[in-house]
Structure 1
């Protein structure tokens, strides 16, 4: 009866897969969490045994929206990291090359069909988007409909089996085994790197510093009497700003050449370390009630200034003209939806979202110099979105033969490249192409989950057959496809690229596109230094791995 209901109303199966799948995926065992996508796949495979199917058009539309949004949000960071982050980029290349070699070895040894090979890549690399690009590539091979459906079902089954083992392996490797191989205490090493970058003290996820990095304090001038505002701020590297001066009960305009006088009440704001250092040079601290209310503006700015790309926060401060940088402070850096520590030694990339704090006029001036203000709009530019997907579909029709292997991008590959291009254009010309981060996240989450549910439902009847055929071979292959690239990256990154251990391990998590791995790493290290390496390789691998779907289909067909 349930099967008949699901077959007559397949939308029930879709939303049941999403609801139950995300519920299952929310459970955590230690550092391991399946996530909603894998949970949705498991539930849809079970419901698929009833014979329920979703319309192919729904699956294709959902995947096109997901893959375009993926490229759109990652475009600025992808192009920013191609040249500057070359050391981390090497790790993504190691990932791509090694998994391709391992897949071809597995095809030859285990006699895998092209669907199983593509699913093994998607699962072991924990990159769900490969399912879509590989499925489209198989659909373009001109096979009989029944054979196409069988191979596409094998992608999903191989993914579901190898994903779990790949996920567990990358989490344990980065957070537990790799530090043992490097013979380091990861928490102590992360603390050392944090301080090297200019951090005064680390705090874990969910915590906030009791003594914040940016502060405002009021003083009654004594020792600093006779010093100009400009000279005083320059003495501390412009890491503090005199925001307000009150003399004999009257507020004075804060001018660079104004000299402080004994008895002045001054409000000083800036980096805590600089304000603490300057306290003894000013005089006694007061409660500041007489100065009245002083408000700090907080705005998010997308970094587009090419001159600032690749500079550390400290270098950006040093190179700025005093009149441009005065009173502007970077309180946070967001990169690919991850918070990067905003320390003096943190390197900035084009496309980063910088949270600026300071007086309203100061942060507005800083925003104009650095990029554009990230408007808090709720509206999506559907003209831009629709045009981008149409361009992606057009690109998807392109194909080529390389060494006798036919490779076609398909809608998935085309929309991914189109998303990259349109996201990059948006970062250059911010007045067009609004796609708020919340809207982009919905497109990615719902698009991918709907696509996964659709392919899982269609693959249900064939799943058990594939598991019986290969047994433990797929889990073992999935583990090896994580360990081999991970060990190679660890060796090359440590000995030759000389990467700091927390960033190196974060980069290895990123090359596997593994959010659970970076979460586990941040928990072990006690600070967010691994995120610095993670964001670079994640941006590169998140784009390159889906493009490998058609490549694996083409190569596996030659080797099988």
Structure 2
């Protein structure tokens, strides 16, 4: 078996990814281990058989992952740097507190550069740190054996502290923090939803259902289409009128006849309310809705920074007539569709309505997401190459040579390319689905390569530090969260659901925000989460080389 995997490292790679994601599905209450940590554990075990992969392959996987990470987060990162300063302060608290705690643990426990950066990656649940720190270790000028040993300790320390950091942040945000401030999270989230939604009920779904139903005009006969829609506050649109066996698309000036068949599209509750002013519903008819849905990446400056209510109020009637927002996504997560939610550059807005109306309104928001999902490999290749060149730059700081490395360079390159692409429809794009594959597979494959290279000596770390390393992981996750809770609640006066979401985001913890949404009963915590997640996803990986340099030269 040893010889087989030594000759077929590609098989070992895919075996580790498959088994790792299978193990990653295991749940401990609300906490799921996750495919990345599962892959690392499987790679560490399979790596005991002597599996080795080309170091260049590992670098390629990481470059693709970190570029895609920056690309998808670029628009929100720059938007939040400008406008999300209250939440951004929490990400800075995370970065400086974690750095101080990791350096303190390195001194007290006598951690080397590998173990210290692994503690940073695991306790902060930021897997990208493994890549930036491993690359920094390779530039320390050590022998091949010493470099491999330190990189192995990064992986082992990460695998030990990740689970403890993950459980800590999930339990703290969803259970402990509300008790500390003396506020019921579900009640606070319901009150915040009502504030944002002008009377939205606590248990109301975040995305109201859009439906089409057909009625006899009845009492609406004699009214113009525009007058009928105005009485429904334009939450209902007459998209088709049937008269004398003929179907037509009405204009706002069209006068409705009492015997006309009206095909209405709108929010379910609005159509139910409008039904009281119409004749009987025409059930049993096959309804062919003359509507479409299309996603747009928000890039227009005149729209970014405005609430949904402001956009609806300011947009001319002919622009918004018949068009509904069916979905709002930020950093891949659904945002609550409430009137006071603020749109940001890079948001993906799904419009629903007649084809011409959707195209007209979408052009005001930004560019349409291509339906063919084709990746522009010119843009991808140029972006990664630019990042690699940026990674060659370095500075001398107190005798320590600090460089961005391929990881840091590709992260910054991805941010800029993603931001630029969100504003220029003619430029090449990296579709969300393609970016997600690059992130998921690139990180999993990179982590597997790290686990293989760790070698049998990696487990020496477990025997050397015992319980102290997990305890350091718990404190490194808990202290920044507690400090942010105090600052956010007492000083910045951030609403609790937003604040707890922001704390989950500063830790880059997807399981924490999922648990928070379930506990809160609505998606209001996501508003705070996306801000700090975008910022911390950039700053935390850049800490990897800093920790390696400081611990190696000074501790």
Match of 2:265 in 1: 269
1:139-173 per-residue CA deviation (whole Å, 9 max, x = no partner) reads 12222332222222221111111111101111111
1:264-322 per-residue CA deviation (whole Å, 9 max, x = no partner) reads 44333323444444444x33342277896333211111111111112221211111011
Q: Quick check: 2:94–2:480 contact (8 Å CA) kept in 1?
A: yes
Q: Quick check: 1:44–1:460 contact (8 Å CA) kept in 2?
A: no
SS at 1:553's partner residue?
helix
SS at 1:241's partner residue?
strand
Match of 2:86 in 1: 87
Match of 1:5 in 2: 4
SS at 1:286's partner residue?
coil
225, 239, 242: which one aligns with 1:243: 239
Q: Quick check: 1:20–1:40 contact (8 Å CA) kept in 2?
A: yes
**C-alpha separation between the residues in 1 aligned to 2:527 and 2:329?**
10
Residue 305 in structure 1 maps to residue 311 in structure 2: no
Q: Quick check: 2:376–2:428 contact (8 Å CA) kept in 1?
A: yes
**C-alpha separation between the residues in 2 aligned to 1:291 and 1:118?**
62
> Deviation of residue 485 (structure 1)?
0.8
**C-alpha separation between the residues in 2 aligned to 1:257 and 1:219?**
19
Q: Quick check: 2:298–2:348 contact (8 Å CA) kept in 1?
A: yes
Alpha carbons of structure 1 residues 493 and 515: separation in structure 2 relative to 1, 3 Å: same
**C-alpha separation between the residues in 2 aligned to 1:410 and 1:368?**
39
Residue 314 in structure 1 maps to residue 339 in structure 2: no
> Deviation of residue 79 (structure 1)?
1.5
Match of 1:52 in 2: 51
Q: Quick check: 1:194–1:202 contact (8 Å CA) kept in 2?
A: no
475, 478, 481: which one aligns with 1:480: 475
Alpha carbons of structure 1 residues 324 and 505: separation in structure 2 relative to 1, 3 Å: same
> Within 5 A, what are the aligned runs for 1:33-182?
33-182=32-181
Q: Quick check: 2:389–2:409 contact (8 Å CA) kept in 1?
A: yes
1:81-136 per-residue CA deviation (whole Å, 9 max, x = no partner) reads 21122222111111111101111211222222111111111000011110111111
> Deviation of residue 442 (structure 1)?
1.7
**C-alpha separation between the residues in 1 aligned to 2:120 and 2:291?**
49
Q: Between 413-422 and 525-534, report the one with greater CA deviation.
A: 525-534
> Deviation of residue 17 (structure 1)?
1.3
209, 215, 233: which one aligns with 2:229: 233
1:406-444 per-residue CA deviation (whole Å, 9 max, x = no partner) reads 311000110111111111121122333232222222211
SS at 1:499's partner residue?
coil
Match of 2:354 in 1: 359
> Deviation of residue 397 (structure 1)?
0.4
Structure 1 residue ranges without an equivalent (≥5): none
Match of 1:463 in 2: 458
**C-alpha separation between the residues in 2 aligned to 1:118 and 1:241?**
57
1:480-504 per-residue CA deviation (whole Å, 9 max, x = no partner) reads 1111111111112222222222222
Match of 2:446 in 1: 451
Match of 2:18 in 1: 19
**C-alpha separation between the residues in 1 aligned to 2:202 and 2:127?**
37
**C-alpha separation between the residues in 1 aligned to 2:287 and 2:390?**
60
1:36-82 per-residue CA deviation (whole Å, 9 max, x = no partner) reads 11011111112222332111111111111111111111111211221
Alpha carbons of structure 1 residues 258 and 16: separation in structure 2 relative to 1, 3 Å: closer
What is the total number of aligned residue pairs between the two structures? 553
SS at 2:367's partner residue?
strand
Q: Quick check: 2:65–2:440 contact (8 Å CA) kept in 1?
A: yes
Alpha carbons of structure 1 residues 471 and 293: separation in structure 2 relative to 1, 3 Å: closer
Q: Quick check: 1:92–1:511 contact (8 Å CA) kept in 2?
A: yes
**C-alpha separation between the residues in 2 aligned to 1:312 and 1:403?**
47
**C-alpha separation between the residues in 1 aligned to 2:232 and 2:146?**
71
SS at 1:498's partner residue?
coil
Dislocated runs of 4+, deviation >6 Å: 288-292
Alpha carbons of structure 1 residues 298 and 308: separation in structure 2 relative to 1, 3 Å: same
Q: Quick check: 1:133–1:410 contact (8 Å CA) kept in 2?
A: yes
* TM-score, scaled relative to structure 1: 0.93
**C-alpha separation between the residues in 2 aligned to 1:512 and 1:11?**
33
Residue 554 in structure 1 maps to residue 549 in structure 2: yes
510, 513, 517: which one aligns with 1:522: 517
394, 399, 409: which one aligns with 1:399: 394
Q: Quick check: 1:166–1:482 contact (8 Å CA) kept in 2?
A: yes
Q: Quick check: 2:37–2:159 contact (8 Å CA) kept in 1?
A: yes
